[in-house]
Structure 1
Amino acid sequence: MKISSSDLEKIKENNSIYDVVSSYLSLKNKGRNFSANCPFHQERTPSFFVYPDSNSFYCFGCNTGGDVITFIRLIENLDYVEAVAFLAKRAGISIEENKDFYNFEPKKNIIYEINRKSAVFFHSNLFKEKNKPALDYLISRKLEINTVKHFGIGCAFGHSRFELINYLKSQNYKESDILAADLAYKTRNNNIIDKFFNRIIFPIIDLNGNVIGFGGRSVNENNGAKYINTSDTIVFKKSKNLYSLNFAKKSRDKQVILTEGYMDVISLYQAGFTNAVASLGTALTSEHANLIIKYFENIYISYDSDEAGKKATRRAIEIFKKYDISTKIVSIQKFKDPDDLVNKSGSKSNFLFKKFIENSQNDVWYIISEIRNKFNIENYEEKIKFLNEVSKVISKIDNTIDRDIYTLKICAETGINKQAFENQIKKLIKKRNKLSNINKLDKTKEIFKQKPNYNNKSKYFRIYYIEKILLSCIIKYGACLWDVFSSLKVSDFASDFAKSVFGRILELKENNEKIDIINVSKNFDFKQNNELARVFGIFSDSTFSKDEVVNYVKILKMEGRYIELQKCSSDISDIRKYINILKSDKNKFIDI
């Protein structure tokens, strides 16, 4: 499969890295560039940068980078072809003349169609006389018919485990596609049977209105796990989707209620709270957090009140903290979960849950309260343990005013001397800062202190650093400084990466094509694009005079000759030849 260069260039030009990334992340201006918390790993301090000039991105925390196609591949979990098609569609660019290019699209569209028709099949089944027990079950859970219809709830009840499969086959869908949608599975005898048989069905809908998967709840204790979900498919990833986000994102007050399950979301909706979401049979992930942060400003966590729910709450708090996002915890006291509250409170549930929201604790006080519940602070020894644990929590608060408020309250509650407690907190902060600074060494200074000695087994840090500066300069200044770069050869570069990049630059120059990061990165693999973005990212804000660039070229050639000398034979004539060359270069060299 080949994508034409003109199509690829057109797609990249019409999808600026800033526009694409800002549709997923909240970007902050940093001079000519932009920063954000990285969507690909958890962090509190932004290390993810977007470079509009080069149409690229790079994260200095997890070393992930590339062009706009790479970003879409990672954020949407697509392969290369899918990412290009995604961006083509986004920009309204048609590339239908390349039929092979769209081979993957029919597959995804078929899965969407199968899911949609299955959702309709399940929902209509719910209202058939033979499936009355399923509807009766939902009514027993205090659900109204309008609520059932709003969420498209259905059932897979019946006399056969082949009903859905037979229906889909009658609609001319292949068994292989039904299996790919994870609506069925093969038995040991190679029979294909319905995955969700004898279950209440909850369709999962994405932000574009596509049915991407299903949740199934058993009403029979002998029917396996209480809940099962669609496994990851080409259209569905549990870690990247939230149940009912398609409805909740319409919330005008930018508030979201994060719950554990389908029924929590549905019951809260019926009680008047249309902004609840739930993770899909998995713990909250960084991808979930990114989705939530994108659409909401105020986050309320209302997980189950048992120990497992408390553990999940603490995990969610930590995930949001890494994005520097504060949350509030809705403690529903005597109720098991929001669904239980709505069921037992009836018409009072709206008023009651609003009260719980009003009385919700911020994440810090929630954690402190949980610690307090572990100890009897009237006991001297337990009070010390309590204060030691709480000091760790408060030491992680960056805002000094917030930290002081928590300190004052804890001191007032326990009677401890404020100065002593603050000293303990400062000690913990100092220790943590010391650990975090261990790896923050200035590698550049180390590199330029090195002598050109390659007898050891270490990497050629100095030459590698210099060649990366030069690659960045060539891409940025190639058009106006080619007289400086024209003396370079591929063999002057030490690393395979630099050889590949410079080789590509020479191809562009020979074909009179523009030398920019988009053209240079064509046909590079994921790893090469990542490294190219990293190099360009490091030096994107750096400026170099012509004399500096000339000196870097000389250093590169000189360093390369040291390597040649190291590799050459022991023949005295060879050594003398290289010594004379080096002496000649030294006389010409202008020290930077």
Structure 2
Amino acid sequence: MSIDLEQIRSANPIEQIVGEKFALKRQGTRFVGVEHDSLVVTPQTGQYYWNSKGEYGDAFDFVGRHLLNYSTGWNNRDATMFMEALRYLAQRAGIDIETGNDFHKSYAWAERQLVQRLHEVLLATPAALDYVTKTRGWQLATVRSARLGFMPQDKRKLLADLNLPDKWRDVIAKFPAGMIVYIHLERGRLVYLSGRSIEGKRHYNPPREILGERRPYYNHLYSADAERAVLVEGQADAITFGEWGIPALAIAGMHVSDELLTALRQHRRLFVALDNTPDAMEKNRDIARMLGATAFIPRLPEGVKDANDWLVQGNASADVVQDVLNKARTWLQSEIERVAFLVGLERKDAVRELFTHAVDLDEMELSEFRSALAKLGIKGRVFNDLLKAVRAKTEKEETDDMPQILGDDIPLLSPALGFQKDVAIVTVSVVERTKDKKLNTQPYLVTSSRDLVRLSDEQIIALNGKEVALRVMPEGSDFLMRWRFSDIQRFLKGETVEPGQVFAAVHDLFTQYVDFRSEVESAILALWTIGTYFYTMFPAYPYLALNGPKNSGKSTVMRVMQPLAFNMVSTSDPTGPSMFRLIHYTSCTVGIDEAERYHNPKDPGMQQIRQLLNSGYKQGMPAIRLIGEDMKPQAFDVYSPKILAAIAGLEDILASRCIAIPMRRTDKKMPSFPPDFDGAAIRHQMYTLALTAFPYVHTNYFDRPTLHTLHNRSSELWSPLVALAAFFEEQGGVSGLLQAIATAAETDEQISQGKALSEREEAVLQALELMTRGQQNVVWIKAAALREKVARLIGQPVEKMGDTQWIGHILKRLHLLDEVGRKRSMEGMSYAVKPLDVVDMMRRYDVAMIYESR
């Protein structure tokens, strides 16, 4: 097992760790040493920098150097030293480290070592070091703070002995040698790598299918809550502003998305300083206009093309740069200057546009706007009339209650469990204490960006800078309290989970209490259970069918799954209206016992449940119900995971929506499942996994069609489990899982398409051939005798074969039975079998004949 470095890091805020040794004072979003003003701590990134000493690092590095007194002898690649720092921080946070746990297996450790190795390659390569210190003009302290790396020709040493996810190994393999490597960090974790050649002018970004879309580059001083920051074009410019002590981020050729614009508006002042060329200056104005009042446009000196050129050619100092930023103009001020040179209709339209931006100005800004417009000849009554007209138009638009059509650009998510490519949400209920000392059960959203969002009556909300629409409005209820608030807080603070450990925890619980025929069946159950936390991502999600005689473990599987699966409810007698509403509002997993009774056409009470089961395995197949006294039709989304337990099997339509798990009576002494097991710890792991790992699973499902060769209904049912199996094998180290699931899926496809028979079906044919051998005419076969013969052929005690109802299903499926070919007597059911039909069916499926010894 591995140690969760991210949990330990997030439980020890860097400002607290440094503050235990040196007094700090807050400056904006950073902390600076009281006695050592070159000591800078950035909580947002979890890093500290001590420029005068040339030190930088995170909480582990600071503890090693200053609290464990290794000083300059500290080496974060020394396992003994690092483990000492790790134990110090774990003990400080009250986190137990189990004996035998290995931090080397942590992805966080491997990514950390990869970044360090790339950086050491740069420091050891004269050409690369000359490029960053001479060509780019950065001090060595800036190079170290930025953790700049260099990609060597021989990459084997970079990857040796590191437990890296496959995506990073693929990135390194494809990354061109001879390039400076820019390290993209978010919340202290490696999220992206980009490159720039030291010869020529070549840039590199990894393929989208490996790392996704390009990411902004943040310099080492940037934080999302910084009071001011600079937006630049290239990574080198962002690093250059870091040289001057200024937070900056680079769009690096990206399109400036609405999400990024929303994030940038959080800064009190954002300076837009892309390259100093006509095209880039026009882009400056466009971005500043979209950002609004917080955006400023600095004017770089004539003759320099960008910030780095300003440093190298102009030898600009930090004071000079601060002065230029101090004189920067807002977009509105810059636009007024531009309008002064326009004439005619173009000028008239531009002035009208200016006034639309003046509505939200405060008194001081409006006074400056009035003075600037006066220089254009727009003053007095004309100015007042124009401003009044714009304000009246704005007020009319704001008070207009006409609803807007919801556009396709706003995703419609299930609040209980919703996924888009870049965002995931889950609804939980939290008990609040009101001002009048009462308790209120309130629904909250927990998001993949580790935010806790209190839900109001608004169905359209902003998440990660984007609007999303909630399909229904969830209500606070005890049913949604399956994620403990203390565990939610751990997630919000940055706790992560190891995928392989999550799979093992679920899988081991099933195998501890249930005796399965093979390991693949327990693996399918574990994957399916974990998949209930991802299922709304998929267009369809299979039902599970537990088929077997009494006392074969079906109820035990249900009991084990009950505390684990997403919002699971179990019942043997569900009612249609209650189940429709429960699934619609909570996306719950449904466990149904005695499921064979729902295909009884003589039971009218089961009609609604049959509709629910036939529609609920796939998105876009709502159940329509007539509601209220006016019988108004309403669509209920009944798509959810369902597990069905049956002795006699399911009818064909329902069975075609299921992955079957044959159950058997055990001959082992299995422990009883504890009735007080609540599963909270494992549920916490699965909630965390769903909100952190969903991009990997999404990519596996939608972008990797070669993971399997399934078709039609089999592809629809098995693809979610294949995508999950690939994730756990590649990201969790569960060896052989993907092949096992793919093989089971292909076998199931062959059986469902009639290309192959199950073990029991083959045994039925062989038993029938033995019992009718030498006969030409119809032979009446007693079901009990056939069951006994089949049990002997497959090596099972007859009492483990259950009752004889399954025999009729198999004979019908093999086209060996018609409606008149059965009769019931005191000795049970008998079936009319034609020997030639049996032999023909064995030939078609290549089933071998059995020759019993006398």
TM interval, shorter chain, is 0.3 to 0.5
TM-score (norm 2): 0.35
TM-score (norm 1): 0.47
Give the structure with the larger helix fraction: 1
Q: Which of the two has higher C-alpha Rg?
A: 2
Give the structure with the larger strand fraction: 2
